[in-house]
Amino acid sequence: MVVRTAEAFRKKSSIDALTGHRVERIDSAAGRVTGQGPDGKAFALAYDRLLIATGAEPIVPRQPGFDHPQVAVVKTLEDAHAIKTRLATGAVKTALIMGMGYIAMEMAEALRLREVSVAMVKPRAELLPWLDLDLAATVRRELDAHQVQLYTGFDVARIDGGQRPLAVYDTNGTSLSADLVIVATGVRPNSALADAAGLQLGPAQSIAVDRQLRTSNPVIYAAGDCADAFHVVTGQRAWIPLALRANRAGWAVADHVCGKEVSLQGVAGTAVFKVFDLQVARTGLTMAEATQAGFAPAAVTISTSSRAHSHPGATPIQVHMVGDKRSGRLLGTQMVGREGAAHRINAPAVALHAAMTVEQFSQSDLAYAPPFGPTWDPLLVAANQLLKKMKEE
Ligand SMILES: Cc1cc2nc3c(=O)[nH]c(=O)nc-3n(C[C@H](O)[C@H](O)[C@H](O)COP(=O)(O)OP(=O)(O)OC[C@H]3O[C@@H](n4cnc5c(N)ncnc54)[C@H](O)[C@@H]3O)c2cc1C
């Protein structure tokens, strides 16, 4: 779905949206960008202020076979249309998805709904390494229940496209066959232009920006997936490419260029996605991230009910919560459930922005009615148990 067309930008907002124009160089000394327009025609545009919002690009391995037409990425609408067109031919009976992140999971669901057999592969042993093991086991069961074949520890070495179906080999010589291969192994920031222009880079080679979204050159801004942000829990620079913070950063740049005061607080890494009938959500730090950031973390994992226990239709909901034993601060929360996980994560997300302690969070007046949760909300059950654990340890 196209949310807003270039034509709407031109007509409604008087923005000269030059689609089909690729910037190839930023000449910061001259205040100019140059590149190629449609039909390869060179163009040059001068600027007083420049915003780099070049997003991120899918990481595609360089091993042999990845240039085969039956190997696809899922980044743009065109990518999705191309996959749908292939599926419509009826020739895709089996698909192999490289990666087990949220885009990979969403693709697995979309393909299974179209009755395509799906295998997912990744080199590491863990399904979702950032997710608590008990919660990850629930996600695994959901994938199993929908006949998604999972091959962890499968490190793709090459794709043999000389035959149909394609043969995908791992480094040990084991092979899996598929009519379609989808590469969903993560993204990297499109920061090469900024790097070539001498701008400072941050984590994962994203463009380093301050709280006003200025790069190391004060007339050049960067926003969205190409840029970093400050993490509200650690205070450190972080690269977490997600849509809300991209959108918010874009608006903030416009405000700042127009002379308004801007200071973005940062990101908590709040994210949510669907795996068939499961909602998976997270905000803040994992135990490993908390340790790495110098906290003394403790964590609990609880399982309770999505509705009052006697209410029909109640399903399990799991909460994993992390706190800092030294300061008492809440550091992060993860949730998995069939209902009530996706939006509940916003409560701990706000608590992270407010730097609340686990004790303060445990005292929050959260909503209760039988169809929506137990009297003690799952988040409060987790916070109470975490509080106990933090005092004991
Ligand atoms: C399949 C998929 C599902 C997603 N689901 C979610 C979700 O559920 N929730 C969520 O929060 N996020 C989601 N995301 C991430 C979200 O889409 C991104 O965080 C967001 O689009 C980033 O916006 P952006 O403007 O920074 O980058 P983009 O939307 O990638 O836009 C970058 C633009 O810059 C252009 N560009 C790049 N290089 C140049 C150049 N040299 N010259 C000119 N133009 C250039 C590109 O053509 C593109 O139009 C998803 C992403 C994908 C791929």
Q: Is the pLDDT of residue 1 over 80?
A: no
Per-residue model confidence (pLDDT) at position 257: 96
Strand partners, 72: 182
pLDDT digits (tens, 9 = 90+) for 358-389: 999 999 999 999 999 999 999 999 999 999 99
Instruction: Report which residue type is found at 152.
Output: T
Per-residue model confidence (pLDDT) at position 131: 97
Per-residue model confidence (pLDDT) at position 313: 94
The pLDDT confidence band at residue 263, using thresholds 50, 70 and 90, is: very high
Per-residue model confidence (pLDDT) at position 316: 97
The pLDDT confidence band at residue 393, using thresholds 50, 70 and 90, is: confident
Which atom of ligand 1 lies nearest, measured to the CA of 75? 53
pLDDT digits (tens, 9 = 90+) for 63-107: 999 999 999 999 999 999 999 999 999 999 999 999 999 999 999
pLDDT digits (tens, 9 = 90+) for 20-59: 999 999 999 999 999 999 989 999 999 999 999 999 999 9
Domains observed in the chain: 20-52+190-257 (3.50.50.60), 71-185 (3.50.50.60), 272-392 (3.50.50.60)
Per-residue model confidence (pLDDT) at position 275: 97
Per-residue model confidence (pLDDT) at position 164: 86
How far apart (Å, rounded) are the C-alpha atoms in residues 267 and 335?
18
How far apart (Å, rounded) are the C-alpha atoms in residues 346 and 269?
11
Mean pLDDT along residues 156-182: 95
- Residue 75 CA to ligand 1 center (angstroms) comes to 7
Instruction: Provide the whole-model pTM.
Output: 0.95
In DSSP notation, 96-159 reads EEE--SHHHHHHHHHHHHTT-EEEEEESSS-SSTTS-HHHHHHHHHHHHHTTEEEEET--EEEE
Assess whether the C-beta atom of 75 lies below 6 angstroms from ligand 1. yes
3-state DSSP assignment of residue 302: strand
Look-up of token digits 């994938």: 143
Which atom of ligand 1 lies nearest, measured to the CA of 242? 19
Residue among 185, 242, 272, 282 to mutate when testing ligand 1 (max atoms within 8 A of CB): 242
- Residue 55 CA to ligand 1 center (angstroms) comes to 5
pLDDT digits (tens, 9 = 90+) for 200-215: 999 999 999 999 999 9
Which atom of ligand 1 lies nearest, measured to the CA of 223? 26
Tokens describing residue 133: 């093991």
CB–CB of 126/102 below 8 Å? no
CB–CB of 339/272 below 8 Å? no
If one counts every other C-beta atom within 10 angstroms of the C-beta of residue 61, the result is 16
Per-residue model confidence (pLDDT) at position 310: 84
pLDDT digits (tens, 9 = 90+) for 291-340: 999 999 999 999 999 999 889 999 999 999 999 999 999 999 999 999 99
- Residue 190 CA to ligand 1 center (angstroms) comes to 10
